Every structure is written in C-alpha cells, then in structure tokens.
A and B are shown apart, each in its own frame.
Chain A
Amino acid sequence: MQNALHPGQQNNPVVKKLKTAADKYSTVGDEFKIVCTTYRLTEHYHYWTKNNQMNVQLIPEPFVEIPVELAAELGIKGNDKVKVTSARSYYVAKAFVTKRIKPMTIDGKKIYQIGIPIHQGYRGIQEDAGKDARTILNRLTPTVVDPNAYTPEFKGFLVKLEKA
C-alpha cells in the first residue's frame, strides 16, 4: 500500500538494515505474499515447557494456523505437514485449518494472514523423540527495530506457504 503522506518512501529511512548473511529482507512484489505473525499459547510458557510432560500433553506438536480460504486455495487439509518459508529460513509444522482468521482486503487486494505459536524448538520431549521437525520460529522472523524507540518489529513479516 502506498504511503499516503510520503509517496515513494515506503519505509522509515533511518531504519537500520543489518547486513550479516542471516539478515535478508524480502521486497515488495516477490514470492512472499502471505503475512505471518507469531504468538504464545496458554498451555505453554516460552521455551522451557516443551520439556514438561504436562504441557506437552496439552499441546503436543507445533502447528501453523491457516485460514480455511487459503488452505482450500493451496489444497492443504488439517494435520498436513506444511513448510513456511521467509526470506531468511523455513519452518515445518502441521497445518491447523481454522475459521478464526479471516482474509484481509488491503488496497483492493486479498491478503492472507497465518499465525504460528512460538513454543517448540530443537530440543524437548517431542523433539528428542523425533516426533516433530525441530525447526525454530526465530529463524523466520526479521531483525528489525524501530530506529527511534528500538521497539522490535519481529512479529509481522512476509512468508510463503506450501505443503512439506
């Protein structure tokens, strides 16, 4: 969407774009067209509860919440293994097809959003038993902060989605 106040300047000009090999940023119009966000669940607490049997019983596996419309478009059914790729890395988990996320209409275009809980990683009860893909969500997110207040902006980024 065009910046109405300053056409031609889409991003904050003083934002620091890191230049290490891991920091790649996607550009407008490339293959990453789905908005992704990350959040936490009630049943888990950050990363240590994947080592606790009680929490793992309540939510055993990592999943990606996908709107029904997007799942229908890509031919994904619930429980299918999906791969989420951003400019930086990828994440593999099961699909949770839900009616609770609706597609958005931005600037006349239909934009989809998917949501991923953060709690699983590469070590844990399920991970050590080989029951999930052992990918971490942090590999997907960009390292961008507001140049003035240093507020992190890791939670909104672009990805593409496909069956794994």
Chain B
Amino acid sequence: MSQATLAIRRISGHAGPAPGEDVERDYQVCKLIDTTTCIGCKACEVACLEWNGYSFTDTVFDNSYQTMPETAWNYWNLIKFNEHEREDGSITLLMRKDQCMHCSDPGCLKACPADGAIVQYTNGIVDFQQQNCIGCGYCVSGCPFDIPKFNPATKKMFKCTLCVDRVSEGLEPACIKSCPTGCLHFGSKDDMTDLAEKRARQLRENYGIEKAGVYDPAGVGGTGVIYVLHDVTNPEAYGGLPKDPHIPWIVKFWKGPAKWIGNLAMLGGILGVTLHYFRYGPKEVHDEQHENGGQP
C-alpha cells in the first residue's frame, strides 16, 4: 500500500493556480478495531510477539480468558475480556484489543524529559526510541490509557510501535495480518473513520444495536487506533477503556506554565540578588563578630 500521493505542479491551458497544487496531504495511518466481530482468539497477541521477537511468558490462570492482567514490556497487545451485564440482565462477553492508541496529542511525548526518546512521525505513529530513553517513567503519568511499560532488566520503556518497521515498508501491522475474522483493519485515518462510521451505522440500523458508535477520543486530539463499540456510551465496560481520556492537567501544567514560572523565579532571583548588591553592598561583618570568632 503506497503512501505516496501525487501532487500537481502545473497543468496546461489553465489560467491561475492549478486546483489542488498547494494541498499538502499528510497520510495518517490508522488501525480500526471492530469489537463487534472480535472472537477473542488472541492471534493478534501471538503475531505481535512473533514479529517483535519476544519469547513466551509464564502466565497464571486468573478466573478469566484474559492472558494477563495488563500489557507488559514484552507483551504489547492484550485482549481484555469482560462479562458485562446489560441493564436488561442479559450477559455479553465483551472483548477488546488493548494496546497503544497512538494519540495525535500524545501524553507520553509531552511528559518525557529525554531528548528524542519519544518520536511522533508525520503518519501519526508514536514510537519509543529506547536508545534515548532514561527510564524515568514520566511517560506513564502522561498516558491516559496506562500503556507504557517498564523493563526492569534494561531500564527502558516499551509499548506497541504500530509495526512502524512494517508500515514504513508498505505492509500492514502484524496483528492486522493475523486476524482471522477480519475485524482488524488498517489504512489511512480518513478511510478507517469512514469504514468505522459505516459499520456503526449498520449496527444501529440493521441490527438494532442503538448505542453502537466509533471511539475516537477528541481529548487526545483523536487517535491512530479507533474502535467500533456496541455501546459507545459505556467504554469502561470494555476492560477499562477511559470514557474521556486526556493528558492529565498536572502534566500539561508542569511541561507548560510551570517551566515559565520556574524561569521567572530563577531570573527574578538572580536579578534580585544583583539589585540588592548594588543597593546595599556586600554583607557587613561588625568588629564584635570578628572577636567572637565570627559569631553574631
């Protein structure tokens, strides 16, 4: 799938600028996860491990089909299962593929203090560069989805890369390739949003699932991973998907206004000390203090 788009430089026999010649198309990639057709087979979990070369983990049964409680430094995507009881008392087993959402306004990037440790590409993929990572864990505080995970052995943070190594060569991510039901889709953000809206409308109109909708949170500027949910008014039922995710205000404050307040404080301090010196001179030490060995 080519990411190159044709841009017009000149056209013949035309007065004035050519239509669309100054349009710059940013090809944003997007992964669409249709939870309504997911069967919870975990092929995506395994494909991700195999592509990224991770070995298998020792897991323990914990009253659920879920492989482990949450994603790990070596387990980047996880199907979260929830036996949800609807208002009418019926039970439904909700399954949602949990991984990095590749936000347009990434909280991890905003919170990270290390130069170049987190990179956001023009196609929307947010990638960790482990060689620049200092292992501070600030990205965890910035992420509203609780995704970045720490490797205690190498002291680096890891998460889903949206298979940036595959996408940059024109292939789809490993999870999408392995999905047997075709509930995972990959393409441009526009195409995937369109497909998602179509599917949500089909669910509402043809199947009577009135609350079906697309989960593409505006609080983080939209995400590179969008969901079609049976009940978009209750995303928490899908294994804790936050209803209105946004970067915590304390991270925004600390990386924004707090820096300027800090600068002001430092500058003010230096200015104050200098002005005080010029006005009052150096600290005066009186004779008695000399005799008493410097004690006032």
Contact = CB atoms under 8 A, between A and B. Distances in A.
Interface of A: 42-43, 53-54, 56-61, 63, 78-79, 94-100
Interface of A is mostly: mixed
B61 A60 contact: yes
Given A58-B67, A98-B83, A100-B93, A42 B40 contact: yes
A63 B61 CA distance: 8
B91 A79 contact: no
Contacts of B60: 60-61
Most buried by B among A58, A63, A97: A58
Contacts of A99: 83, 85, 91
Interface stretch (B16-24, B41-49, B217-225): B41-49
Given A60-B58, A60-B60, 14 more contacts: A54-B49, A56-B56, A57-B67, A58-B46, A58-B59, A59-B61, A60-B61, A61-B61, A79-B61, A96-B61, A96-B64, A97-B63, A100-B83, A100-B91
B51 to A, nearest CB: 13
Nearest to A102: B91
Contacts of B57: 57
20 contacts: A42-B40, A43-B41, A54-B46, A56-B56, A57-B57, A57-B58, A57-B67, A58-B67, A59-B61, A59-B65, A60-B60, A63-B61, A78-B62, A78-B63, A79-B61, A95-B63, A96-B63, A99-B85, A99-B91, A100-B83
B134 interface: no
Interface of B: 39-42, 45-46, 49, 56-65, 67, 83, 85, 91, 93
Contacts of A57: 56-59, 67
Nearest to A93: B61
B158 to A, nearest CB: 18
B175 to A, nearest CB: 15
A160 B56 CA distance: 36
A94 B19 CA distance: 67
Contacts of A56: 56
Contact of B39 (A42, A53, A54, A60): A42
Contacts of A79: 61-63
Contacts of B85: 99
Contact of A43 (B42, B62, B83, B91): B42
Contacts of A95: 63
B41 A42 contact: yes
B194 to A, nearest CB: 31
B96 to A, nearest CB: 16
A49 to B, nearest CB: 12
Nearest to A43: B42
A61 B65 CA distance: 11
Contact of B56 (A53, A78, A97, A98): A53
Nearest to A98: B83
A63 B58 CA distance: 17
Contacts of A100: 83, 91, 93
B30 to A, nearest CB: 27
A78 B64 CA distance: 9
Contact of A42 (B42, B59, B83): B42
Contacts of A53: 56
Contacts of B46: 54, 58
Nearest to B64: A96
Most buried by A among B49, B61, B83, B91: B61
